[in-house]
Chains A and B, each alone.
Chain A
């Protein structure tokens, strides 16, 4: 008998195995849902697939009479816009401050302790401050995500930039590089793929902050909707929304991974 660590599933087998937990989860839900509905047809906790489908159809295809918008898509657009702007700002801050901290010793002495301290502030604890100072609009919500995400990205890029072999930086200087050229031609191009990695890793917490901000003060957005319908125990809305958020997060992670492989082929070459 071979050791289990040496046994590898075939390609088809790996796909089946990967799908198995998902199938089991759906199956378990269906059984639990039908048991509860049999006992009480008005049960709201585990709605049947038919109920979920009907609710989702009305949310995703029909205009809401009061707002004149299709809620599912206007919520999605609002959330993705906030997330996109916040991640864009975080990426920019991450590159600028991360590279400056990683490469310039004076900037490192100046900023590294400050960034380390700021990154320890629990962003949700200062959410009230943001709402008081910045109002209840978009700026406060985007700022919350940036405060949660940017320090992580900055510190990651700073570490990666400082990890570049000293030989490379010295070599570039013997080719005549100024500090600016060193950053532009040697450091920055090697930080792009690291930036994508950092964004992928922070995607989860970005969604967390987004939904927290939307839950507290918003008039549209995926997080807002979930917390709004919670009052009516509308699991038939909450469940598809959660699945949709998960799918969006999964797809953006996957897209970033593909982008990295496509745009920076040199990161995964071997002889």
Chain B
């Protein structure tokens, strides 16, 4: 079972280490989350993140356009990760108590 499969969160996490274009995002996400996003799913999430101002496009390189995370995107990612940390803490504590 994949730990996290929210495409937006995965993209923000990937972009937190630097700008990437679509193909690089897919490879990076697969390497750290073991999730292979479909191209349509990836670009759907990119569309939404750009609309929300959480990522921004850079100048295209050939036909590929890199994206980078914005300050708002970094804050959103931090808040999401904190939420996940709470879930992990709660789950770990409850699991320990149950065993």
On whether the two chains bind one another, the answer is no
Footprint of A on B, CB under 8 Å?
none
